[in-house]
Amino acid sequence: LQDEETRKDYDYMLDHPEEYYRHYYHYYSRRLAPKVDVRIVILVTVCAISVFQFFSWWSSYNEAINYLATVPKYRIQAAEIARQQGLLNKTKEKGKNRRSKEEIREEEEEIIKDIIKNKIDIKGGYQKPKIYDILLFQILLAPFYLCKYVVWYCWWIYCFTIKGQEYGVEEKLYIIRRYMKMSQSQFDSLEDHQKETFLERQLWIRENYEVYKREQEEELKKKMAMDPRWKRYRRWMKNEGPGRLTFIDD
């Protein structure tokens, strides 16, 4: 009874002994209440998620670099750049400093990967991770992003709704991305010729986008109709069906 709140509960119990279940609830809620500050638990959890997130992104980025290093198109280009810069020639040394073929091959591989990292801009889910994209910094910078969005939204309303200005290329692509319900990283991963096609077909206009959407749906249906896997799946659904139970007497 050293705690003030506990003494209040005890006095209330003496005055109202008939409230049996209420007394038990208050007693066990205090006994089983966590002793650690909830704010510390939340902070540690956010930090742990952020660390895992960052290293997971780094792993995906390195996998993308390793894959591109095996693609002949990018490997030949990277090797040519390395020769022009004299990086591959340095790996072949003579005399006492001469190394084994395995060591030279490993060093050449690292040089090619470094050139691919510097020359190729990987977009989408395999892009180079940035520390400001992890959860911890996103939470800390949330007020800044909110203010930035409000300023941008007011600018959009003033320029294109009130003044009636024509959309620029970035604004057109933004509207198209919103129609497609794609995130910024997903949209950035598209090829440049696809974005040019979007602009040529004026997909920022809602009617044009609806026509394009129906065309894509029809094309997808045709591909699915010609795909042997989907044909087998449709036959299975027709003949067997999901979750069909049969009871056969022995």
The reply to whether 221 falls in a domain is no
Burial class (CB within 10 angstroms; exposed 0-12, middle 13-18, buried 19+) of 152: exposed
Question: pLDDT for 182-207, tens place per residue?
Answer: 888 778 878 888 899 999 999 999 99
For residue 84, tell me if it sits in a domain.
Answer: yes
Whether residues 11 and 59 share a domain: the answer is no
Residue 123 and residue 61 share a domain = yes
Cα–Cα separations (whole angstroms), residue 219 to 181, 193, 194, 206, 209: 19, 19, 16, 20, 15
Residue 147 lies in a domain: no
Q: Is the pTM of this model over 0.85?
A: no
As a whole number of angstroms, the distance between CA 121 and CA 127 comes to 8
Q: Is 45 in the same domain as 15?
A: no
- 73 vs 239, higher pLDDT: 73
Binned at pLDDT 50, 70 and 90, residue 27 comes out as: low
Asked whether residue 43 falls in the same domain as residue 122, the answer is yes
How much is the pLDDT for 121?
A: 64
User: Is residue 203 one of the residues assigned to a domain?
Assistant: no
Structurally, how many domains does the chain consist of?
A: 2
Q: Are residues 114 and 47 in the same domain?
A: yes
Q: What pLDDT score does 210 carry?
A: 93
Residue 247: which pLDDT band, with cuts at 50, 70 and 90? very low
Average pLDDT on 132-141 reads 88
Look at residue 20 and tell me if it is in a domain: yes
| pLDDT surpassing 60 at residue 63 | yes
For residues 83 and 23, state if they share a domain: no
What is the mean predicted confidence (pLDDT) over 164-186? Answer: 89
pLDDT tier for residue 129 given thresholds of 50, 70 and 90: confident
Given this model, what pLDDT does residue 113 score?
83
pLDDT higher for 116 or 196?
196
Is the domain of 61 the same as that of 116? Answer: yes
Would you say residue 110 lies in a domain? yes
Give the domain range for residue 74: 39-90+100-129
Specify if 10 maps to a domain: yes
Please report, for residues 120, 179, 198, the alpha-carbon distance to residue 136 in angstroms, rounded to integers and kept in the order given. 28, 30, 36
